[in-house]
Structure 1
Amino acid sequence: MFRFENIYWLIALALVPVLVALYMLLVRWKKRAAQKVGDPALVKVLTGNFSHQKFLLKFVLGAFALAALVLAAANPQLKGESGEQNRKGLDVLLLMDVSKSMLAQDIKPNRLERSRQLMSLLIDQLSENRIGMVWFAGRAYLQMPLSSDASAAKMYLQNAGPDAVPTQGTVIGEALRLAGATFDSKEQKYKAVVLVSDGEDHDPEALEVVKDLAASGVMINTVGVGSPEGATIFDPATNDTKRDASGNTVVSKLNEAQLRELAQAGNGVYVYLQDAAAAARTIRAQLAGVEQKELEDESFVQYNSYFFIPLVLVLLVLLAEIFISERKKRLHEA
């Protein structure tokens, strides 16, 4: 597999057509300057020792050197040997509700922090798999594509919260749809979802999305956070409990019925999050029964760099350009 390590450098190739345009303007300017002299015989005498062909050749070599230098900076690479062989696992997407209802404190310290604890344990215990992360509230956002980089997953987890998704709500269906789009559509197995939410807002689309995902080989597991009795929500923005439009205190309750229904339709398991370690073990045991595949991740693939090839070309071209004179070669100089 061929690739450029620093592909953003290729944007600099746009300088080549800019140089071509400048060269054409220069040639046009020279012709106009010669016409202003007026006497063609005088112009011929003044420019008789100048070679237009050699001038063009020097420009072409300079433009080629610039393009080769850009390619060297982009660092062309070819795929080498993988750093880890015979590694099996699944593609697992962790979906976490980060709406403001997750700030309810019916479980200590609050639903969001307990969910983070579970996610952290899952990242550690599922390290042999590829993991991706989706945060959702009123909208769903892919935070991390599928990867074996556990340290990156932990970094993203630290930023999980209501501020990560500005629109409030609980769009479970949209989050599941985004998860389905993230998986490889050509595979009919080796895929699983772990959805952590209080399920507060009933999402009628979620069940249909789960059925579609299950038909495409995705196992849907759900984790319920909170309590059926519910709790008030402390809003950091107002430094007070959340209230509705009528001024009444909002009480957020765990919607276990919806989360159980989604897990059942998705051939997965529903777990009530009380003890994070116990919930992580249950999820891991459930995923252990799923057929695994040979995994290859970019973090384990070694690439051989060949930036030195265009650099050598740059050196050779510049040396050649130096020794090419714009003067015509006279017969007695031959």
Structure 2
Amino acid sequence: MSAYFEALAEFHFLRPWWLLVLLAAIWLPWAVRRRGDIRRRWRGVIAPHLLNALVVGETRERALRPVHLSALLLALGAIALAGPTWERERPPFPSDKAPLVIAVDLSPTMDAIDVTPTRLERAKLKIKALLARRDGGRTAIYAYAGSTHLVLPLTDDPTLLQTFADALQTRIMPVPGKDTVLAVRTIDAALKKETVPGTILLLTDGVEPAAVEPLHAYARSARTQVVVLAIGTADGGPLRGRDGTAPGLDSATLHALRAADIDVATLTPDGDADVAWVQRHVRQHVEQAASPDTVRWHDVGWPLTIPIALLALLWFRKGWTIRWIVGIGAAVVLAAPQADLRAQSTTAPRAWRMADLWLTHDQQGRRAFEQGKSAEAATQFDDPMWRGVSWYRAGKFAEAAREFEHISSPDGHFNLGNALAKQGKYQDAIPQYRLVLQQRPGWAPAQRNLALMQELIERQKQNEKHDEEAPDIKPDQIQYDASTPPPPPGGDKMQKGLAQQNAEMWMRAIQTSPTELLARKFALQRQQGKP
């Protein structure tokens, strides 16, 4: 029900001026009825008591006439062209790359069995459902208790992610307790390197009351979104495998988190509504972070062409007539491409297709784009931004650059710089990123790409300088220090044998479970003071 009201609140028309045609749809039946009223036409000439006697052959009007059908078609056409919408389209570049970091609470209370089989095992099941819904989205996993540790960096491999998620156990954490603020800060520092704004999902059975205020301050200032999925019951339960009882969910703290602008949901034991809630927040965060000139709304007016076509069939009924000149004129006006619907194409005109009767070029291109046919979509789009995005996805960076050259917005310059960089034209990409920074001062993605281009150019210069030196120059004589004896005969073979032996010992050493591997890794990181 909440989703229904959210959609209702977002409802609007993309091109509301087309609704003025509704006035013509209302006026048309009234005008035709008025024109056909014989009594009204003679009322000023013949006395009323004589007019009633002189009017003969008057028949009862039909309830449905061609003019009513024409008015209905005008109304439906006006609504369709006005572009009703209530849902944002996913941005072409970042939506499917939106990073999500799953932070799993591994404090001892996660072994409570108030939810079956345990809170931690239920969290693993939710991770599996979320990875399936992510459909290749980039995801990372962290574990935290009194310390925070990286389990797996951002990757789109769900099998690898699930393998390491299944290996998580509370006993592998080197520091007991729970420090949620440390976990959020550590993960946020890693997500700052990402171009697309990320989301931190805390899978936990509670947050310390002292962490509410720092998280509130973080939510107001940070680029990264934090959402909490609370796992447990209000009553708590015993710990599996050891003595003790875990406390239940602290409802007061959860309410305080919601008041602190942190989105909180509780476990859905009988479904995946909580997983859908998480994925929806990830998508909405990326869309809200996108610049206003890149936000696109999904136009749902085109399905109205189906009832328009069905109603138009009634014009062929026997006895029905229509003024075809007016009808053809109205059809031409309604079918004319609008400037905001179809941009000026920079590609050669394409041949007419049967689908053109039902879908615009951009709609056909979007269908091909969503099916993964990027090269085909690029030939169908009229919108230069979408053509460029499609060429970019297809790996045709030169074609993408030609399309982005016609877009003067910051996103156009940014995408053009990316397309040039993909071609190795680092020097040409630098001015594009600088143009973006002139229009969007301090924009982190452009700053990072500009710095990367300058670094790559410097690296190319060093490689060229290195290539100028002869690589096969051998020393005239090898000198050994007096304290270091020269290598014995057959030393190379001995070194190779030792290296092979060490490699075999190392391979035998890592033949252990992922859980033990993570435990050793976390302990070593704790000793070195690294997350």
TM bucket (normalised to shorter chain) is 0.5 to 0.7
1:82-231 matched pairs, under 5 angstroms: 86=93, 88=95, 89-184=97-192, 190-199=197-206, 202-231=208-237
Given the two structures, how large is their TM-score scaled by the length of structure 2? 0.35
Corresponding position: 1:286 with 2:312: no
What residue is the counterpart of 2:346 in the other structure?
A: none
Q: 1:279 deviation in Å? A: 1.5
Relative to structure 1, is the Cα distance of residues 217 and 232 closer, same or farther in structure 2, using a 3 angstrom cutoff? same
Amino acid at match of 1:198: D
Q: Deviations over 1:298-329 (max 9, x none)?
A: xxxx9x9xxxx9xxx9xx966x86xx9xxxxx
Task: Give secondary structure in 1 for the equivalent of 2:208.
Answer: coil
CA separation in 1, counterparts of 2:127 and 2:220?
A: 23
CA separation in 2, counterparts of 1:174 and 1:140?
A: 7
CA separation in 2, counterparts of 1:259 and 1:205?
A: 11
CA separation in 2, counterparts of 1:241 and 1:223?
A: 26
Task: Give secondary structure in 2 for the equivalent of 1:114.
Answer: helix
Larger radius of gyration: 2
Task: Give secondary structure in 1 for the equivalent of 2:233.
Answer: coil
Relative to structure 1, is the Cα distance of residues 280 and 131 closer, same or farther in structure 2, using a 3 angstrom cutoff? same
Task: Give secondary structure in 2 for the equivalent of 1:204.
Answer: helix
Task: Give secondary structure in 1 for the equivalent of 2:285.
Answer: coil
Amino acid at match of 2:102: L
Relative CO higher for 1 or 2, CA cutoff 8 Å, sep ≥ 6? 1
Relative to structure 1, is the Cα distance of residues 123 and 186 closer, same or farther in structure 2, using a 3 angstrom cutoff? closer
Q: 1:290 deviation in Å? A: 2.3
Q: Hey, which of these two has a bigger chunk of helix by percent? A: 2
Contact 2:103 2:202 in 1 (8 A): yes
Corresponding position: 1:258 with 2:246: no
Q: Percent identity?
A: 17
Amino acid at match of 1:157: A
CA separation in 1, counterparts of 2:203 and 2:220?
A: 18
Contact 2:107 2:144 in 1 (8 A): yes
Q: 1:207 deviation in Å? A: 3.2
Contact 2:145 2:175 in 1 (8 A): yes
Q: Deviations over 1:77-103 (max 9, x none)?
A: xxxxxxxx9463312111111122111
Q: Deviations over 1:265-314 (max 9, x none)?
A: 345342334235221122122323222579x9xxxxx9x9xxxx9xxx9x
What is the RMSD of the two structures over their aligned residues, measured on CA atoms?
Answer: 3.6
1:294-305 matched pairs, under 5 angstroms: none
CA separation in 2, counterparts of 1:93 and 1:146?
A: 8
Q: Deviations over 1:233-263 (max 9, x none)?
A: 134xxxx323xxxxxxx34212233234334
Q: 1:113 deviation in Å? A: 0.6
CA separation in 2, counterparts of 1:141 and 1:192?
A: 17
Relative to structure 1, is the Cα distance of residues 192 and 230 closer, same or farther in structure 2, using a 3 angstrom cutoff? same
Contact 1:118 1:276 in 2 (8 A): no
Task: Could you tell me which runs of 5 or more consecutive residues in structure 1 were left unpaired when the two chains were aligned.
Answer: 1-84, 243-249, 297-301, 325-334
CA separation in 2, counterparts of 1:219 and 1:111?
A: 24
Q: Deviations over 1:118-142 (max 9, x none)?
A: 0111122123432121111222212
1:38-49 matched pairs, under 5 angstroms: none
CA separation in 2, counterparts of 1:95 and 1:257?
A: 22
Contact 2:144 2:178 in 1 (8 A): yes
CA separation in 2, counterparts of 1:186 and 1:109?
A: 36
Contact 2:215 2:260 in 1 (8 A): no
Task: Give secondary structure in 1 for the equivalent of 2:263.
Answer: coil
CA separation in 1, counterparts of 2:117 and 2:190?
A: 32
